[in-house]
Structure 1
Amino acid sequence: MVNFNGQIVDDQELYLNSKNRGLLYGDALFETLRVVNGKVIFWEDHYLSLMSSMRILRMEIPMSFTMEFLEEQILMVLPTAVDTTSALIRITVYRNNGGSYEPESNEVSYIIDSDILANPYYILNEDSYEVELFKDYSLSKNMLSNLKTTNRILNVVGSVYAKENGYNNCLLLNESKSIVGALNGNFFLVKDKVIKTPPAEDGCIKGIVRKKILDILNKIDTYECQEISVSPFELQQADELFITNSVVGIQPITKYRKKTYENKVAKDILGKLNAAARFN
């Protein structure tokens, strides 16, 4: 099922048209989140992220777009299977039809759709997971790169490159040749007790799981956490590398070129992330 502006429609039904600005210009934003037992995980963070992004893109935020209203809209599209307790939700907000690069209006519409999740909480995938740098194109170091817009052609081309060359994922670079993130999430590097992740100023997505992990790390003394530029030359000296997003939580990287990695820190943090998700 799909929630299209408050109306439930079948996911096979045609409810968009050729004038859709998300289709024509990538003039749309999205948030991906989890619902477990009827509870939207990290909902306040996702909501504030969406509202902030809409303001940056000068979209008009409807008066009805309260946390309570959008949460109700999310719950309307939960899978109806009796044994389903968790779902993956995507909220897409796009500017309404009209205009070319200059829109006729800043008013918006929204789509909310769902998929069944096999596990209610994050599970560590310990299968082989190899990455490589994607160097064909780079991200810009500006605020637009921080947003989850539907204009993700670099990620699409990078994903095709990864598949063609037998990699599970690729790491993206910015114009200064620093690592920004992965094709589908944020990036963390562990060396001894220091954990690094690229700062927003380098062009990384402001992911919610990234934010929650930083919150967790800043409250404990086990590790030193740094939001700092990461050079590709640091990869082969690292103890661990991992990717984060709202779908998988934490995905350990097991191999980059001839270097292999452990996942002890990823396991430790994943337990704390699940605890935070349970009690948020």
Structure 2
Amino acid sequence: MINFDGKCFSSSKAVPEESLSCLTFLPIHTHHLIAFGGKVSLLESHYFSIMASLRRFRVEIPMHFTLDFFQEQTDLLNNFNKSTPDIQQLSLKFYRKKPPTQEEAVSPICFLMQGNESTWENKTLDLTLYKDHYVFASAYSNLFQTNASLRQLGEVFAYENGFGAALLLNDHKRLVESTHGAVFLIQPDGIQTPALSEGTANTVIRNAFIEFLKKESEIQQFETEIAVFSIQQAEEVFLISSAYGFLHIGQFRKKKFGKEKSVSLRLQFLDYLKNQF
């Protein structure tokens, strides 16, 4: 089931042919949301993140893209599905309706929304390192869409070699993120995560977890530069994204990690998200 530009269809094949032309272009922005019982968590943060990204991609933003619009579109999709999962992962992709031209540089857009049931279950993966290509440590890399293809390449590499996810490095050979979300390392002095200046995708869920640590946890957090060897010095490692949830890491190279602290953090953060409406 999909919501294509405000109308719901059983699949993309049911979308009128004249409307499908925009889907031949690559999406200019992909955004992932989490809904609990049909209500989008962190809606305001998601809204401002979407608007900021669309402005940077120089497109014509419809006036009806208001704060409540994306909640209304979620309701529309769930009503069409005749079901509302307890935890739902929503994928929202924005496309240009036509390519930019010299006469009309700023083009109108359409969107495609899809929803899948999510569990945020206690899942553990083993990690590998993807080194074929690097993320540039720049503000452009903070946009989620910028390195989408690189993450996909890293994901395929991990799966082909029997791993659950892969770590990505920036052009300074430092840790930047993973194929499955932001990376957090539990060290003796606190929790570390790569800083935005390292090229990390500036996602709402990453920022929400950092804010959660500041408000709800006594654990100190650091956004910093992280060398690859620091990963093996960590007590625990976990990944967070709206698309994949909260993933515990069991092993990286020869180092095996515990997950006692991160299991507790996962449950606390899940409760925190359920109250962010």
Query: Would the TM-score normalized by the shorter structure come out above 0.5?
Result: yes
CA distance in 2, matches of 1:254, 1:184: 15
> Aligned pairs, how many?
273
Match of 1:162 in 2: 158
Q: Does 1:209 align with 2:226?
A: no
State the 1:100 CA deviation. Answer: 6.9
Distance verdict in 2 for CA 1:258–1:145, change over 3 Å: same
State the 1:220 CA deviation. Answer: 4.8
Percent identity between matched residues is 26
CA distance in 2, matches of 1:176, 1:155: 18
Distance verdict in 2 for CA 1:8–1:220, change over 3 Å: closer
Q: Could you list the runs of 5+ residues in structure 2 that have no partner in the other structure?
A: none
User: Which 4+ runs in 1 deviate beyond 3 A?
Assistant: 14-20, 79-86, 99-105
Distance verdict in 2 for CA 1:220–1:4, change over 3 Å: closer
CA distance in 2, matches of 1:221, 1:279: 16
CA contact (8 A) 1:216 1:272 kept: no
CA distance in 2, matches of 1:164, 1:83: 34
CA contact (8 A) 1:250 1:266 kept: no
Amino acid at match of 1:95: R
Match of 1:269 in 2: 265
Q: Does 1:43 align with 2:39?
A: no
State the 1:34 CA deviation. Answer: 1.9
Q: Could you list the runs of 5+ residues in structure 1 that have no partner in the other structure?
A: none
TM, length-normalised to structure 2: 0.90
CA distance in 1, matches of 2:81, 2:67: 23
Distance verdict in 2 for CA 1:18–1:114, change over 3 Å: closer
CA contact (8 A) 1:40 1:71 kept: yes
Distance verdict in 2 for CA 1:107–1:12, change over 3 Å: closer
State the 1:182 CA deviation. Answer: 0.4
Deviation by residue 1:79-124 (Cα, 9 ceiling, x = unmatched): 635584342211111222134799743221111111233x3xx332
State the 1:257 CA deviation. Answer: 0.7
State the SS of the aligned residue for 2:274: helix
CA contact (8 A) 2:169 2:175 kept: yes
CA contact (8 A) 2:128 2:165 kept: yes
Match of 1:95 in 2: 96
State the SS of the aligned residue for 1:3: strand
State the SS of the aligned residue for 2:53: helix
Alignment of 1:1-280 (within 5 A): 1-13=1-13, 15=15, 20=22, 23-24=24-25, 26-78=26-78, 80-81=81-82, 84-99=85-100, 104-117=105-118, 119=119, 122-125=120-123, 127=124, 129-149=125-145, 152-220=148-216, 222-280=218-276
Amino acid at match of 1:107: P
Distance verdict in 2 for CA 1:101–1:236, change over 3 Å: farther
Amino acid at match of 1:153: S
State the 1:70 CA deviation. Answer: 2.1
CA contact (8 A) 1:186 1:204 kept: yes
Distance verdict in 2 for CA 1:9–1:44, change over 3 Å: same
CA distance in 1, matches of 2:222, 2:234: 14
State the SS of the aligned residue for 1:76: helix
CA contact (8 A) 1:95 1:105 kept: no
CA contact (8 A) 2:92 2:111 kept: yes
CA contact (8 A) 1:243 1:250 kept: yes
Instruction: Between 80-89 and 46-55, report the one with greater CA deviation.
Output: 80-89
Distance verdict in 2 for CA 1:58–1:237, change over 3 Å: same
Distance verdict in 2 for CA 1:226–1:18, change over 3 Å: same
